[in-house]
A and B are shown apart, each in its own frame.
Chain A
Amino acid sequence: MSAPPQDAGKRRPAITPARVVAGLCLFAPFVGILWVDSYARIEPTLIGVPFFYWYQMLWVLISAVLTMVAYRIVRREQTGARRAAASETVAEAAAESGEAR
């Protein structure tokens, strides 16, 4: 067998705009949550619950939505890559099996 598909990287760069967006979606909760000083207070309360608690629970939802967005992006990229790769691989394989015969 010839060289493994090293050239794959050339076709699709490691850093694409979509991946950057997905990365940011995953990174945002870390900034929001670890900056404790931004939410360490009682007011404003929500139905009597201090800000400290309801704000963090709101982040549960925000972060779930962001992760879902990242998932969608990654999946779309994968399907795209798979299709592109599949058509090429099929072409290559066809060429190779043709040679073999």
Chain B
Amino acid sequence: MKDVNGVALAVFIFFFVLVTVMGFRAARWRKAANENSLDEWGLGGRSFGTWITWFLLGGDLYTAYTFVAVPAAIYAAGASGFFAVPYTILVYPLIFTFLPRLWSVSHRHGYVTTSDFVRGRFGSKGLSLAVALTGILATMPYIALQLVGIQAVLDVMGVGGSESTNWFIKDLPLLIAFGVLAAYTYSSGLRAPALIAFVKDALIYIVIAVAIIYIPIKLGGFDAIFAKAGDALAQENPATGKPRGELASGENAQWAYATLAVGSALALFMYPHSITATLSGKNRNVIRRNTTILPLYSLMLGFLALLGFMAIAAGTKVDNGQLAIPQLFEDMFPDWFTGVAFAAIGIGALVPAAIMSIAAANLFTRNIYKDFLKPDATAEQETKVSKLVSLLVKVGALVFVLGMDKTVAINFQLLGGIWILQTFPALVGGLFTRWFHRWALLAGWAVGMAYGTLAAYGVASPTQRHFGGSNDVIPGIGETGYIGVTAFVLNVAVTVVGTVVLRALRAPDGVDETRPEDYTADAPEAGDRAAQAAGGAAHDSGAGRTDQGRTDDGKGEDPRVEAGAAN
């Protein structure tokens, strides 16, 4: 077993204690009158402004696993690992178009999860259940991977090394970290990760800024780094008989590169934890403004990815590719700064893990517990169930990581991305039109899920017989591409054909409880509400006009009623 890096460990523990205190104190931060509601615990009271949302989303989307896995992918294969950057470039223009609509309709109707919206829009509990289950299934391995991120750091520090014989001693640090995380998530809800995200992001930005300047100086500049990395990547890999990788995406790899980028971009805001952070924003413009400032994280991710080349050039030697970056930090930085860097990664795991478990718990509570088990649950009961489930979800993730091989979590994470993409037609389609039929959406979802799972199962790699990667030959095109995108195209095709057929057969449509103006509504600001409601209606022309079976109940939602009241 390797020596424990005492200084680094001390710094790491200092930051860990700091965020633990913050996590518990967060319960009292921006506190609202009624804390026993899911809006309070699970969405931070829907009160966060642009900057808190920015930190929260940044902390949420750019996880510890990202920080470990993206440079690790570059370290392993070069250019193909860089797809994470174009992926995060495409995300923001994409969500600019639909996320504000989701925010508005959720705000109007008190939706906490995407499944809430799908049920309200299509009047289908079955479809809503499918979306909820997909979300929970896709989130679980994601939480598990955050643990893998912490483990990587602990391993390199020499704490809880994998060679230790006693499993309890070996995993004790991880158990403590997660026990603490579970406790403050339980007591503070979404406020805990929101507050901790400030520390996490400050640390991450400092570490990357230092690394991107300091390490190249030590290695003789970027010219030397890429020359060495190019040589190393050109070497033949004994397992495959092909070069290890390349510096720029070759012709055979370009379809895979582009489809991975676009498929991942489409999938990112289908994940429950992204939506939880989105819905915690206090008004509609918080979301749009965030799409213009979140790219700062993408820039950072790009620099971080380049560290993968530095690890190659520095000749960093690791048995497990995931350890490449932590090991590079330890080799390059003085001990105390290694501690800061490791704390950044460790805390970077806690923030998303907390949000993910809250998101999964909300899905369970709203769309399984309340819809199917206890329809008359009160707000207090909902909150209680959600808190408990957030604990269960984390225990599940822990068992996942400790009980099974790490590759199982990675395989499931890969599948999770393909799966969650299949909820896109119901969610984003539903935000713009009621044309899709609920049963057709369900059929499309099922086909996409089945195809994606089978295709991923069939991918072999030199080290694995199944789930060896997320790319496969695209039927009909012959190029290699991301399975998720192929499954998504199939999904949409089935949904469209199914809708045409079902509409021709006059299959019963669900009741839509939303109205066109709900999709552009903003949070009420004093004296401005009537004008906004009317302005919102004016903006909705064209969309949502195919609504059927909607009842015009006129419960004070007509803008003119409010206008009268405001006068």
Contacts and interface: CB of A to CB of B under 8 A. Distances in A.
Given A60-B85, A67-B93, A81-B535, A97 B567 contact: yes
B89 interface: yes
Given A50-B248, A89-B560, A33 B567 contact: no
Interface in B52-73: none
Interface string A1-33: 100110011011110000000000111011001
B558 interface: yes
B531 A93 contact: no
Interface string B541-562: 1110000000010100011110
Interface residues of A, number: 60
Contact of B530 (A4, A26, A27, A86): A86
Contacts of B254: 36-37, 40
The B interface is mostly helix, strand or loop, or mixed, namely helix
A63 B89 contact: yes
A63 B257 contact: no
B302 A57 contact: yes
B190 to A, nearest CB: 25
Contacts of B542: 9, 14
A79 B530 CA distance: 14
Contacts of A56: 82, 85-86, 89, 302
A9 to B, nearest CB: 3
A27 B292 CA distance: 15
A5 B562 CA distance: 13
Contact of A92 (B90, B226, B563): B563
B459 interface: no
Contact of B306 (A35, A40, A49): A49
Given A64-B295, A67-B292, A71-B288, A59 B534 contact: no
A70 B93 CA distance: 9
Interface residues of B, number: 65
Given A33-B89, A52-B248, A14 B535 contact: no
Contacts of A30: 90, 93, 262
A29 B559 contact: no
Contacts of B298: 60
Interface in B75-114: 79, 82, 85-86, 88-90, 92-94, 96-97
Interface in B301-334: 302-303, 305-306
A44 B554 CA distance: 63
Contact of A48 (B222, B517, B561): B222
Given A36-B257, A88-B534, A66 B93 contact: yes
A81 B226 CA distance: 53
B289 A60 contact: no
A11 B249 contact: no
B35 to A, nearest CB: 34
Which 10 pairs from chain A and chain B are nearest by CB? A48-B222, A9-B541, A86-B531, A14-B542, A82-B535, A48-B223, A64-B295, A26-B93, A52-B248, A85-B534
Interface of A: 1, 4-5, 8-9, 11-14, 25-27, 29-30, 33-37, 40-42, 45, 47-53, 56-57, 59-61, 63-64, 66-68, 70-71, 74-75, 77-78, 81-86, 88-90, 92-94, 96-97
20 contacts: A33-B90, A34-B261, A36-B249, A40-B250, A40-B251, A42-B247, A42-B248, A51-B248, A52-B248, A53-B305, A60-B85, A63-B92, A67-B292, A78-B539, A81-B538, A82-B532, A89-B531, A89-B534, A90-B530, A93-B567
Given A53-B305, A63-B295, 19 more contacts: A4-B558, A26-B94, A33-B261, A34-B262, A37-B254, A40-B79, A40-B254, A42-B248, A45-B226, A48-B221, A48-B225, A52-B249, A53-B302, A70-B96, A84-B535, A86-B530, A86-B535, A89-B534, A90-B563
Interface of B: 79, 82, 85-86, 88-90, 92-94, 96-97, 221-226, 247-251, 254, 257-258, 261-262, 285, 288-289, 291-293, 295-296, 298-299, 302-303, 305-306, 515, 517, 530-532, 534-535, 537-543, 552, 554, 558-561, 563-564, 567
